[in-house]
Amino acid sequence: MMGAVHRLIRFARDRKGVAAVEFALIAPVLILIYMGLAEVTMALMADRRASHATAVVADLVAQDTLTTRGELNDLFSIAEEILSPFSPAGMKIRTTAIRADANGVPKVVWSHGKGMAAFGKGSTVTGLPANLMAAYDTLIMSEMTYNYDSPMKYAIPNALNFKDTYYLRPRKLEMVNCTDC
């Protein structure tokens, strides 16, 4: 009996392996934190790429003098490449030319989208920032929504929806026209 008590006391005083036990308790938590930070970083990178792709499409259209649906589809393909390495499956994009009427009401001149319905010609555009357009001003508006679905799903179990809108004025002419939009 005395030997068992003596061994129990010696076991309680023994400090060998304490670091291994502490590591075994803390390591899973640290690994989950690391994976969560990696997921959040990837989501932020996807948001930045989607925003950049939207800006590039608006910029390229604003630099043009005349465009077509085919050229716009090519620009949408460029936007998909900018999203790489993220899947373009969640990307929806639309580019719209807007002209304000005599009262400053923004009206659609032409619109084309991929995954997003185009606005009807002559329809009123709502949701523009205040004082963005005066009477007879023209504008190119590029919009994108991107659904980012995390591959790991530890920190971000549901898809995130990113939405970006860019407004640029045509650079070479008063209006960039689309021949078949």
179, pLDDT greater than 80: yes
Tell me whether strands 91-100 and 66-67 are parallel, antiparallel or unpaired: unpaired
Instruction: Look at residue 59 and tell me if it is in a domain.
Output: yes
| Dihedral angle sign, alpha carbons of residues 169, 170, 171, 175 | negative
Instruction: Look at residue 35 and tell me if it is in a domain.
Output: yes
Instruction: Look at residue 3 and tell me if it is in a domain.
Output: no
Q: Which pLDDT score is estimated for 157?
A: 80
Instruction: Look at residue 4 and tell me if it is in a domain.
Output: no
Query: Percent of the chain having pLDDT more than 70?
Result: 98
Instruction: Look at residue 151 and tell me if it is in a domain.
Output: yes
Instruction: Look at residue 112 and tell me if it is in a domain.
Output: yes
The mean pLDDT value of the chain amounts to: 91
Total domains in the chain come to 1
Q: Which pLDDT score is estimated for 145?
A: 97
Question: Worst-scoring range by mean pLDDT, 90-99, 108-117, 134-143, 155-164?
Answer: 155-164
Q: Considering the entire predicted model, what is its pTM?
A: 0.81
